[in-house]
Structure 1
Amino acid sequence: MAQTRTAIGLMSGTSMDGIDVALLKTDGDAIVERGPSAGFAYDARFRDRLKQGLVDAKAITQRDQRPGALPELERDLTLRHAEAVKTFLQQNNLSPADIDVIGFHGQTVLHRPDEALTVQIGDGPLLARETGIDVVYDMRANDMVHGGQGAPLIPAYHAALARGAAGLSAPVVFVNIGGISNLTFIGAGETLVAYDSGPGNTLIDQWVEAHAGIPFDQGGMVASEGTVLPDLAERYLANPFFTAKQRRSLDRNDFVPPAGSDAGLADGARTLAHVTAAAILKSAGHLPQRPSTYIVCGGGRLNPVIMRDLAALAEAEGATVLPAEDAGFNGDSMEAEAWAYLAVRSLQGLPLTYPGTTGVRRPITGGKQAARPLRGEARNSV
């Protein structure tokens, strides 16, 4: 019987808005006991440094390269994750000795699946030293070594959640609307199919920041004042990504504003909210069959404009859209929970990815391990 471990998952996603932390007790298989979670926002200056990191990362041709300011950014990012863990433990009356492992995603600064190149900055050994907890990190790379796209990795956890949920009948689709949106299809017999479905919050975030100097459209307030511009929406949705036979993993820069767009702030945000919803349904056309239920997690579910459009489009196809909470899950912490779950799977040599999720040649495990300091050993704090 697999050992049940207490794990913490850390996620800093493509929206680059902060660190999600979640605790999970799991055997990396059937046992999933969700614990507390928390979010720690990045300040505006650090978000600007992360954006510059995306620019610096364009020069990378090998995974271990760190051009420009990336070495310092990687160190500071890791230390911010360490502080988040320490604060989370204090808030929940826990100590490092109570935690068996941390699943550390890091920050994706480059993702080029067609070149088998993905880079998540984050120093696993430094995090282990700073927290005093074993760390599993760099979980995407081995998938690419074996022919996969390196994403999405969360489907294994979605399958575990669906397995333990009452009242869900196959087929069901989990929709994660982060910076990029992705789908996990769970069919009869736990058939898993997963892929990125298109832009999530990234385009809206970029639009409102460029036009209003705000980092994101909180609660869809800007979009709610605008009107969908059909021609502009169709130009986004005409991207060859949606009709290509092979599903591919996306980088946050794969969708750019069409040339010649002169939309105003509100109309642009409203149009991009519609594009986010329509992209999900358009990409769902590549699934083995249309689902009866869409369960939505990630920050995008908090934008009521996106959710209304998604619900209307799904209803037209006879499907229901549920926020994760209505299905008994936590839509804010699900990705962080997944990284805790995947860390335990990694320790046990279980697959993280499958041919149906990333296109990998066979089910494959992944991740690197960094051990906590031995008792009495100096932490070498920096």
Structure 2
Amino acid sequence: MSGTSLDGIDVALLTTDGEDEVRRGPSATYPYRPDQQALLQDALFAARALEERDARPGILAEAERELTHWHAQAVERFLDQKRLTVSEIDLIGFHGQTVIHRPERGLTVQLGLGPALARYTGLTVVYDMRAADVAAGGQGAPLVPVYHRALAAGLDVRPVAFVNIGGVANMTWIGAEGELVAFDTGPGNALLNDWCERYTDTPYDRNGELAARGNVASHALAAQLKHNFFTTSAPKSLDRNTFDTSLLEGLSVEDGAATLTRFTAEAVAAGVALVPQAPKLYVICGGGRLNPTLMRDLRMVLQAPVIPAEKAGFNGDSMEAEAWAYLAVRSWRGLPITFPGTTGAPRPLSGGIVSEP
């Protein structure tokens, strides 16, 4: 179960042993109301001042309680709508909401009270799955690559890349022998969403229409790509607020959207220099796959087949929630969920806290 974005809570059912067996079940998304999004936005702002991962000053404590309650309601609705009973579920993988991610400071905070969710639902909950990796000196992200590798077993192309474009974009590279290299590539939808929310009455670029009407400002794009993140070797990860739109001041709304969309694509392309061999196929997951202008830009800069997750037989909306279920089972079994090639961990590491109801 994933609530990583500010859009809502994704719930997915997965039958798995945490290794090769993966049977995908039903899924659902429960969008946040505007007042819920506003509370999370306030929490994101407040979290900028955090120095300790267990501190919950001010609005953060309220947001954590509320968020946990919303997830409990989402589980209840999901079970009811899919006609499932609690007895048919073994574990919940609970991501919570990332409010700050600064691995260079040994700090990553995901709001969410695992014990409370276990109590509300009557189910075992595995949560806080990034912390052990960060404590060991890893980036704590991305965590989904080991699930991407399990899904890639059904594809006959190698090397293949899964590119997840949420608020931040990340790439998982899977080699012929199942080798994993993963890292955040740069901004996903977050900057574009911020731009649209600031200058339009829609909090995102619906169908990429705004960007499609604009022209890329090459000077602003080049300035964004000069950020030192792009000269950092992998593995590496980003906070949602690492980049901002200040370099686009003075552009029209349409040109700003076009430039930010191209920035996401160019950042993915820059990541190809960090993998052992250029992928022969890119599978795009996350909300970015629904933006035709971004998909066009990705095909242009990557010069290789670029397909949405659905064309590969997957569900791009539920993949991250499925991954959290998969990771929960691995965590519960003591299997590694992060690796030197994905987070920079010193060795393959398990992680997460198990909370019984």
Query: Normalising TM by the smaller chain, what interval?
Result: over 0.9
Pick the aligned partner of 1:344 from 309, 329, 341. 329
Aligned to 2:350: 365
What's 1:63 paired with?
53
1:328 is the counterpart of 2:313: yes
Counterpart residue identity of residue 12, structure 1: G
- Deviation readout 1:38-81 (Å, 9 max, x if unpaired): 11111112111111101111221111000121111101001111
Q: What does residue 12 of structure 1 align with? A: 3
Letter in 2 for 1:169: V
Residue 137 of structure 1 aligns with an amino acid whose one-letter code is Y
Aligned to 2:293: 305
Is 1:100–2:118 an aligned residue pair? no
Match of residue 166 from structure 2 = 178
Give the counterpart of 2:176 among 181, 188, 194: 188
CA–CA separation in structure 2 for the residues paired with 1:100 and 1:108: 25
Aligned to 1:135: 125
* Secondary structure of 1:190's aligned partner: coil
Q: Which moved more, 1:264-273 or 1:21-30?
A: 264-273
Deviations 1:83-120 (A, max 9, x none): 11111111110011110000000000010010111000
- CA distance in 2: counterparts of 1:109 and 1:70, whole angstroms: 9
> What is the Cα-based RMSD across aligned positions, in Å?
1.1
Following the alignment from structure 2 to structure 1, what is the Cα–Cα distance between the partners of residues 40 and 271? 29
> Is the CA contact (8 Å cut-off) linking 2:210 and 2:258 kept in structure 1?
yes
Q: Answer whether contact 2:195 2:245 (CA < 8 A) is retained.
A: no
- 1:26 counterpart = 2:11: no
Identity, in percent, stands at 53
Matching residue within 286, 292, 302 for 2:280: 292
Q: Which residue number corresponds to residue 203 of structure 1?
A: 191
TM-aligned CA distance change 1:247 to 1:326, over 3 Å: same
Q: Residues of 2 paired with 1:33 and 1:134: CA distance?
A: 20
CA distance in 1, matches of 2:247, 2:188: 20
Matched pairs, number: 357
- What amino acid is the match of 2:2? M
User: Of the candidates 82, 107, 113, which is equivalent to residue 117 of structure 1?
Assistant: 107
Task: Tell whether 2:230 aligns with 1:230.
Answer: no
Equivalent of 2:254, from 247, 252, 266? 266
Structure 1 position 228, deviation (Å)? 1.2
Displacement of 1:270 = 1.2
TM-score, length-scaled by structure 1: 0.92
What letter matches 1:311 in structure 2? R
User: Equivalents in 2 of 1:260, 1:203: separation in Å?
Assistant: 11
What amino acid does structure 1 have at the position aligned with 2:161? Answer: V
AA paired with 1:222? L
79, 91, 97: which is aligned to 1:89? Answer: 79
- Post-superposition offset of 1:259: 4.2
Per-residue CA deviations over 1:272-309 (Å, capped at 9, x if unaligned) read 11111111011121111111110000000000000000
Per mean C-alpha deviation after superposition, the further-off stretch among 104-113 and 227-236 is 227-236
TM-score (norm 2): 0.98
